Amino acid sequence: MKITFSDFLQTVSENEGRVLRTVKGNATFRVKRSGVGMRFILNNGNERSGTPEGIQKYLDVFNKTGMLRTSGYPQILRHRSYVPAVIMLWRDRQQADVPLIEEEMIETDMDAEFSTPEGRRMLRTHLRRERSRQLVDKAKRLFRANNDKRLFCEVCLFDFGPTYGEPDFIEAHHRIPLRDCQPGHKTKTSDLAMVCANCHRMLHRGNPWPTVEELKQRPGVRALARR
């Protein structure tokens, strides 16, 4: 997955004016287009410019290493707290599920027999952060013990047991994103939340990602939980 400068500019345009967080989440800022470049507006009101040449250096590092942590970028690069955060927005959008039917297709393409080749075998290599199966199993057992032997989504309260006959199915969400953890970080069972697949996907969207408690408070989710 490689990002181009045009991708970066498009991401800036889509998030212009929004309050964003740095990759570590310890500072906020806003971005706006400025000519062929952009400006980073810090939470103290100061502004810093980003030139195409300067931004491209970050993109080259990311495209080569996939690194988003500030420590992965040379000390000579400026704005290490802000550019990777925009790259992360682009990356998360690419990883999100693509709708099965685009709105434009509904309006302009009504070919019920449309087809496209699929199934070609491909080899891909990527880095993946280590996860503990034992920790997840223990967190699920603890959750059952505290909730009348049930597993259900902590956000919308959905229970796979009554609906699908799968009382043992649930996903575990890391309340502290693994991307923010240093090597050797120890995760506790209390750091995991039990969530359904839909809520889990929503917990990994946006910048910063919403917390379990924040997602719970969205009107649509609250309506689901009352059913």
- The pTM of this model reads 0.48
Give me the pLDDT at residue 105, please: 41
Q: Are 37 and 52 in contact (CB under 8 A)?
A: yes
Quickly state the pLDDT bin for 97 (edges 50, 70, 90): very low
Give me the pLDDT at residue 129, please: 47
Average pLDDT for 136-160: 92
Domain spans of the chain, in order of start = 5-95, 133-226
C-alpha to C-alpha distances, 219 to 88, 136, 187, 210, nearest whole angstrom = 27, 29, 31, 14
Quickly state the pLDDT bin for 25 (edges 50, 70, 90): confident
Give me the pLDDT at residue 111, please: 58
Q: Tell me the residue ranges of DSSP E strands in 27-96.
A: 28-34, 37-42, 47-50
Could you report the per-residue pLDDT of 27-84, keeping only the tens digit for each? 888 998 888 788 898 888 888 888 899 889 889 988 988 888 777 777 667 677 788 8
Give me the pLDDT at residue 212, please: 92
pLDDT at 23 over 60: yes
Q: Which residue has the tokens 């495209």?
A: 63
Quickly state the pLDDT bin for 157 (edges 50, 70, 90): very high
Q: Are 138 and 189 in contact (CB under 8 A)?
A: yes
Give me the pLDDT at residue 100, please: 40
Could you report the per-residue pLDDT of 176-203, keeping only the tens digit for each? 877 666 666 788 899 899 999 999 999 9
What one-letter code names the amino acid at 129? R
pLDDT at 153 over 90: yes
Cβ atoms within 10 Å of 224's Cβ, excluding its own: 16
CA distance 38 to 93: 20
Could you report the per-residue pLDDT of 106-144, keeping only the tens digit for each? 444 555 666 667 767 665 544 444 457 788 889 999 999
Quickly state the pLDDT bin for 103 (edges 50, 70, 90): very low
